[in-house]
């Protein structure tokens, strides 16, 4: 059978799962497969729609992982998929050196919707790449080398981004790393004051640490970062790879704080999860560096025609649907429900926190997170702990969830916490065990 038929043919889900797992084990990542299985996350996504994904077997799940903020506009948003299909009827990626119309329009749109005087964009594919661009611009613009970054921060695993990612496991085998990075405790103004000086090129941080355990920056800390950068002639780089594009209840999280960075890093949610694109957006002052160094920060696939058209459509969708406002409202509901759960399971939850629909549940010990993933999966919800802080389970559903889905997530969490706390499932209100979801017929085109 040809590869394409393999994708689209109607197949027995059990056999197909076996084939995919075997290929994954033999050709992709044998240990990764084992880990995913242990955490109950070995779901093979088939259909995707709105807040849901369906496994190959037809079982439906509420996606509370969303690739940490990729699918803000919902899974496989049909409106955006249509735009991408239309674009493919007419265009390919486009030559990287040409004047790409979509790139100009998207950059103008980003200048309009980002705060302050952020104006120019360099496009890439992934978040780490865009962080690299930000760091290079900061070093190039200031002529200094030191990057002040945060304990618990995550900025990707590529060259210039890796030393800023605050967990040894990612970097330890790969030294020597790019030098010149200074790490300070997150939200510690005193430590930041000590670290920022005339050698500092930039302070780099996430307004809400995602992988660090859904930890929002304090207002005091973010304002101090802005002030210290101004005083030292350094740049402020905000990494909004997870927090951007309506996730926290504003279009960009820095708007909650009234702090504008010199360089804003955007990725994940930018094109609604349909085409890779990321960007470093920066001020005219920073752009001066490009006048003297016009072609030193380049790549082949950043800001292609297809990516830019899809991203424009995604942004228009977010604006029209007021996705930020909706995320704020649904986030308030979910957070209130989580606080209530904390009251009912005080031994199982130490804290709940976050902004908008970027929420975290902190457990008193690390082992609870993976076991929660397993229990939640049984209850139709996919969720996972944060990579730099396994005590925290992140809840980052799509931003198109409604009240009913919020309640389903809360019910699943309640059941999972009860099961872990008691060693058996909570009897349902009707006095019979929870029924497994009905298997949906598989749809194949
Ligand atoms: C805040 C943040 N910055 C950067 C990155 C790196 O993005 P990518 O994996 O697309 O390189 C991530 C990835 O999760 C992230 O969460």
User: What's the pTM value of the predicted model, to 2 decimals?
Assistant: 0.94
Domain residues of the chain, as ranges?
43-76+357-365+375-421, 79-320
Q: Measure the CA–CA gap between 400 and 51, rounded to whole angstroms.
A: 6
70 CA distance to ligand 1 middle (Å): 10
Say whether 372 sits in a helix, a strand or coil. helix
337 CA distance to ligand 1 middle (Å): 28
- At the second CATH level, the architecture of 43-76+357-365+375-421 is Alpha-Beta Complex (3.90)
First to last CA, the chain: 17
79-320: CATH topology is 3.40.640
128 CA distance to ligand 1 middle (Å): 5
Q: Would you state the pLDDT for residue 445?
A: 40
Q: Ligand 1 atom closest to Cα of 268?
A: 10
Pocket of ligand 1 (CB under 6 A): 68, 126-128, 131, 154-156, 206, 210-211, 239, 241-242, 267
How do the pLDDT tens digits run along the chain, 445 residues long?
566 777 777 778 888 899 899 998 999 988 888 888 888 889 999 999 999 999 998 999 999 999 999 999 999 999 999 999 999 999 999 988 888 889 999 999 999 999 999 999 999 999 999 999 999 999 999 999 999 999 999 999 999 999 999 888 899 999 999 999 999 999 999 999 999 999 999 999 999 999 999 999 999 999 999 999 999 999 999 999 999 999 999 999 999 999 999 999 999 999 999 999 999 999 999 999 999 999 899 999 999 999 999 999 999 999 999 999 999 999 999 999 999 999 999 999 999 999 999 999 999 999 899 999 999 999 999 999 998 888 999 999 999 999 999 999 999 999 999 999 888 888 765 544 444 444 554 554 4
Q: Return the exposure string of 306-325: e unless at least 16 CB atoms fall within 10 Å of the residue's CB, then b.
A: bbbbbbbbbbebbeebebbe
Say whether 120 sits in a helix, a strand or coil. strand
Q: Would you state the pLDDT for residue 442?
A: 53
Residues comprising the chain, all counted: 445
Q: Which residue's CA lies nearest to atom 2 of ligand 1? A: 155
Q: Which of 242, 245, 388 to mutate to test the pocket of ligand 1 (most atoms within 8 A of CB)?
A: 242
67 CA distance to ligand 1 middle (Å): 10
């Amino acid at each position: 059978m040809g590869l394409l038929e393999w994708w689209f043919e109607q197949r027995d889900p059990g056999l197909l799962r076996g084939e995919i797992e075997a290929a994954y084990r033999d050709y992709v990542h044998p240990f990764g497969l084992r880990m995913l299985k242990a955490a109950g996350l070995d779901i093979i996504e088939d259909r995707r729609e709105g807040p849901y994904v369906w496994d190959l077997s037809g079982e439906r799940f509420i996606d509370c992982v969303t690739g940490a903020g990729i699918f803000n506009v919902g899974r496989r948003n049909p409106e955006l998929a249509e735009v991408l299909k239309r674009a493919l009827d007419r265009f390919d990626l486009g030559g990287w050196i040409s004047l790409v119309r979509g790139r100009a329009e998207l950059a103008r749109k980003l200048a309009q919707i980002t705060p302050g005087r952020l104006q120019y964009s360099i496009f890439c594919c992934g978040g780490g790449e865009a962080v690299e661009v930000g760091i290079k611009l900061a070093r190039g613009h200031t002529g200094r080398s030191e990057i002040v970054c945060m304990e618990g921060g995550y900025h990707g695993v590529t060259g210039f981004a890796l030393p800023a990612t605050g967990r040894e496991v990612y970097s330890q085998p790969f030294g020597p790393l790019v030098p010149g990075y200074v790490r300070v405790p997150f939200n510690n103004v005193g430590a930041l004051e000590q670290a920022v000086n005339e050698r500092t090129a930039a302070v780099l941080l996430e307004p809400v640490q995602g992988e660090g355990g859904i930890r929002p920056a304090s207002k005091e800390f973010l304002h101090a970062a802005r002030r210290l950068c101004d005083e030292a002639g350094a740049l402020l780089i905000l990494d909004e790879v997870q927090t951007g594009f309506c996730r926290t209840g504003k279009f960009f999280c820095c708007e909650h704080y009234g702090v504008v960075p010199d360089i804003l890093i955007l990725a994940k949610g930018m094109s609604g999860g349909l085409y890779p694109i990321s960007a470093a957006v920066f001020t005219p002052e920073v752009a001066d560096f490009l006048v003297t160094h016009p072609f030193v920060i380049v790549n082949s696939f950043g800001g292609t025609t297809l990516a830019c058209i899809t991203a424009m459509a995604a942004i228009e969708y977010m604006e029209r649907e007021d996705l930020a406002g909706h995320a704020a409202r649904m986030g308030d509901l979910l957070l209130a429900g989580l606080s209530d759960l904390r009251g009912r399971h005080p031994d199982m939850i130490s804290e709940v926190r976050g902004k908008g629909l970027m929420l975290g549940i902190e457990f008193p010990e690390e082992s609870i997170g993976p076991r929660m993933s397993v229990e939640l999966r049984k209850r139709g919800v996919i969720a996972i702990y944060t990579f730099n802080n396994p005590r925290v389970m992140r809840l980052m559903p799509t931003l198109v969830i409604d009240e009913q889905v919020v309640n389903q997530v809360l019910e699943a969490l309640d059941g999972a916490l009860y099961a872990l706390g008691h060693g058996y499932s909570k009897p349902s209100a009707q006095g019979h065990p929870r029924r497994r979801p009905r298997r949906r017929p598989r749809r194949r085109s």
